A and B are shown apart, each in its own frame.
Chain A
Amino acid sequence: MKKLLSNDYLILILRVVLGCVFIVASIEKAANPASFTVSIDNYKLLPHAVAAVIATVLPWIELLCGLALVFGVRTGGGALLSSMMLGVFTIAVVSALLRGLDISCGCFTQDPNVGKVGWLKVGENLLLILASIFLLFSTGVRFSIERHLSSRSSAT
C-alpha cells in the first residue's frame, strides 16, 4: 500500500481526473447561480436563502479545489475538501432517491433534461471519494507544481 501511495504516475492520473471533474462541474454553476439555486432547492433539504448562499460560493470552491488538484498545489487540502464535498453530495443524492424525488442532479449541468439523480451517480461519487482519500494520504509529489516551486526556492 505504501508503494501505491507513493506511485507518482497513479497520483498524477487521479489528481488530474478528479480535478477536471470538479473544474467541469463548477463552470456552468458558477456562471449561473440562479439556476443552481433552483437545483439545490429541488432537493428540498435546505431553506431557499441557504441554497442561494451555497449556489453563490460552492461553484468557486469547487473550481479552486479542481485547480489545486490538477496543478498539485495544496493537494492535501484539495483532496480533503473534495472528499468532504463529495460526501455531502452523495448524502443529498441518496436522500433524494430514498424520498423518491424525480429531480435532475444539478451536478454538471443545469439542463433539466440531463443527469437525473440515480444510484449510478452514488456509485460514481463513491469512486471519486475513494480517489480523494487516496490522494489525501498519498506521498508522491513528483509532478506537483508545489514541489517544483519549493525545490527552486530551496536552491536559491
Chain B
Amino acid sequence: MSYTIRQALREAAFIVATGSALGLVYTGVTGQGIFGVHGSVQAGNTPSEEYAPEFVELEEAVGFFKSGDALFLDARHEFDYDLGHIAGALNLPLKEFEEKKSLLSSLPKDKLIVTYCDGQECNSSLELGLKLSAAGFSNVKVFFGGWRDWESQNNPAERTVQ
C-alpha cells in the first residue's frame, strides 16, 4: 500500500473516531438519536416492552377503519389535516399533545387507536403512539404508511377547507 493511502487511512480513522465521539456526546446531551425515544424503542430500552406500539400496514388500517372500532388520530399539523384526512380522524398534532390530550380523557384505555402522519418519511405517528402508550392506552397502532398510502388507494377521506 502506498504511503499516500496509508496516511489517508490513518487520517480517515481519526475523522471517524472524532466524528463518532462528537455525535455521541451531542445526542447524549440533547437526548436524541440512540439516546432518544425513537432509537430506544426498538432497542428494547423502554420501561416495558408492552409500551411499544405496533406498526400496521395499509390493509390492516383499512380493516380497522371498516370495522368502525378504531379511532384514527392524525399527528400532522392542523393545516395538513384540514386539507385532507382519514374520514372521522381527529387531529392531535404531536406538538400540541399536552394541550389537547384532554380530548382523549373520555376514551376507555383499551380503545383501539391508530395514529398516522404524512407517510414513511415522518415519525410523528410513532412519537404520538409512544406518548399515548405512555399515557396508559394499551391498544395503540401506528399506521406508518400514513396519509399518502391512504389517499393513494382512494380510501374514505374528508377535508375541512374546500
Contacts and interface: CB of A to CB of B under 8 A. Distances in A.
B8 A136 contact: yes
Interface string B17-44: 0111011101100001111111100110
Given A35-B123, A57-B20, A64-B19, A81 B12 contact: yes
A32 interface: yes
A61 B121 contact: no
Contact of A33 (B11, B27, B120): B27
Given A33-B27, A64-B18, 7 more contacts: A49-B39, A57-B23, A60-B22, A76-B7, A80-B5, A103-B121, A112-B121
B10 interface: yes
B24 A76 contact: no
Interface of B: 4-5, 7-16, 18-20, 22-24, 26-27, 32-39, 42-43, 118-123
A63 B18 CA distance: 11
Q: Mostly helix, strand, loop or mixed at chain B's interface?
A: helix
Interface in A68-127: 68, 74, 76-81, 84, 103-104, 110, 112
Contact of A52 (B18, B43, B119): B43
Contact of B27 (A56, A80, A110): A56
B39 A37 contact: yes
Contacts of B23: 30, 33, 56-61
Nearest to A35: B123
Nearest to A52: B39
A42 interface: yes
Contacts of A80: 5, 8-9, 11-12
Interface of A: 30, 32-35, 37-39, 42, 48-49, 52-53, 55-65, 68, 74, 76-81, 84, 103-104, 110, 112, 136-137
A78 B4 contact: no
Interface centre among A58, A62, A76, A137 (most CB of B within 10 A): A76
A61 B15 CA distance: 6
B26 A30 contact: yes
Give the top 7 A-B pairs by smallest Cβ distance, nearest first: A77-B11, A112-B121, A61-B19, A56-B33, A33-B33, A52-B39, A76-B8
A118 B150 CA distance: 24
Contacts of B26: 30, 60
B38 to A, nearest CB: 4
B36 A38 contact: no
Contacts of B43: 49, 52
A56 B122 contact: no
14 contacts: A30-B26, A33-B33, A38-B38, A48-B42, A49-B42, A57-B23, A61-B15, A61-B20, A62-B19, A74-B11, A74-B15, A76-B8, A112-B122, A136-B8
